[in-house]
Structure 1
Amino acid sequence: MPKPGFKSITISEQVYEKFYDVYEKNKEKLTMKGVNSFAGYITYMLEDSMLKDKTFAKYAPKLELMSIEDDRVILKNNIQNRIAEVVFQRGELYCQLCEAKDCHCIGYVWSIPEIYEKLNSKGLRNHR
């Protein structure tokens, strides 16, 4: 029985072990973010996932992913009926269509899990 104010969920041992392995490998970094337990890590991951889904849902009808290359992402911007090219340069994302470092195209790119993971591994963080 969980403590008052908490709920429990059931997941497979395989899924549990994958998450636990990642938690153990990144424990020091996670502690610096205020994540002090495995349950806290799972909560952190769920909240992060919900935030990404919210961003994706907000922009997905207006933007479509066309391709991902090494240092660029090509989008179809249905708002402006144009192609947007978001490039990784000088340690940050830059949208060549909007000529900006912080636009809806950049927000959409951050919501793409493959890109998010790649940028995160390079130490780049979404500040939205």
Structure 2
Amino acid sequence: MLFQRLIKENSKIWDAYLHHNFVKKLENGSLAMENFLFYLKQDYIYLIHYAQCYALLALNANNAKELHFAMKFQNYILEGELELHKSILKLGIDAERLSVKDESIVNIAYTRYMLNVGQSGDFLDLLVALSACAIGYGYIGKELYEKLGAKGLENHTYREWILTYSGKEFQDEIKEFEDFLNSYSNQTSKEKFDKLNTIFGAVVRLETAFWQHALTMNLEI
């Protein structure tokens, strides 16, 4: 399967992404609220660009099936994740007033990289670029829930975030994403896989950098 091949080729950085210190601190509740809010603020901005990437994915679609996939996931981000972030950000940040001047360099690097992949490559290139975030969060959410359980989440500081990414709705969406990506497994030449592998490696590294900059809270490098 294509996605499993990509993980295998990038196993070290994939593990660093899924088990980053930010995730560990979020799991055990030791993550400072100021770090979490910094992350949410950047992720809110990120998700706007991420949704734009799905619009670009739709433009790159070769058939109705690909178009439907792109539009469905764009809608999920706009109505699901962005609304979750907006509700949590009400703790101290007005999400509607965020703009490019609030965007970190890491955020700019990541989102513009994905947009560039979509503009210079094809549907599958951008699909792979989008996969690290979508599927990775599904893996993280599932693992955190399995470790903590319903009892461990009862009074957990980050309960809402963990339940969102471990919940059935998100997990079903991510399974659909992974299955859809894997449907291209037999259509990928060695040359094409090498290109996809380069893209995947880059976005996984950028995901890891995103966690890290939430710990340091640096807008610049």
TM-score normalised over the length of structure 2: 0.20
User: Bigger radius of gyration, 1 or 2?
Assistant: 1
Give the strand-richer structure, 1 or 2.
Answer: 1
- More RCO (CA 8 Å, sep 6+): 2
TM-score normalised over the length of structure 1: 0.30
Give the helix-richer structure, 1 or 2.
Answer: 2
